[in-house]
Amino acid sequence: MRATRWDLCAVLNQEQVLLGLLHPDALRGEASTPAEHVMQSAPTTIRPHLTLDELGTRLKKRDHLAVTTADGRFLGVVLRSDVERKMIEREHFVKN
């Protein structure tokens, strides 16, 4: 699997609760291997109410974080590159 920006896959249960993340290395293995054997279980998550500055702080040492509700329902993924770009845009807007 090789995409332009997305190189991970969310593993969800029937209720859309995030169970884990599959990274590219996990997808290079045997096709018959169950996702639960190669996924990153219980990944670090954030809530959708965080501010841009809070996201920037949390993403300093990570490329991405999964966004979930308080009950674990998957909402999406936020990328460090997107947060950095938005912070630069905000600074440029404030200066002008």
> Any idea what the Cα angle at residue 46 is, between residues 34 and 57, rounded to 5°?
120
Amino acid 95: pLDDT: 67
Amino acid 84: pLDDT: 93
Rounded to whole angstroms, the Cα distance separating 17 from 42 reads 11
Mean pLDDT of 67-91: 92
- Provide the terminal-to-terminal Cα distance of the chain, rounded to the nearest Å: 42
Segment 19-71, tens digit of pLDDT: 999 988 887 778 888 888 999 998 999 999 999 999 999 999 999 999 999 99
Rounded to whole angstroms, the Cα distance separating 58 from 65 reads 9
Rounded to whole angstroms, the Cα distance separating 5 from 63 reads 11
Amino acid 69: pLDDT: 97
Amino acid 1: pLDDT: 39
Does residue 23 contact residue 38 with C-beta atoms inside 8 Å? no
Ordered domains of the chain (ranges, CATH): 9-95 (3.10.580.10)
pLDDT band (50, 70, 90) for residue 5: low
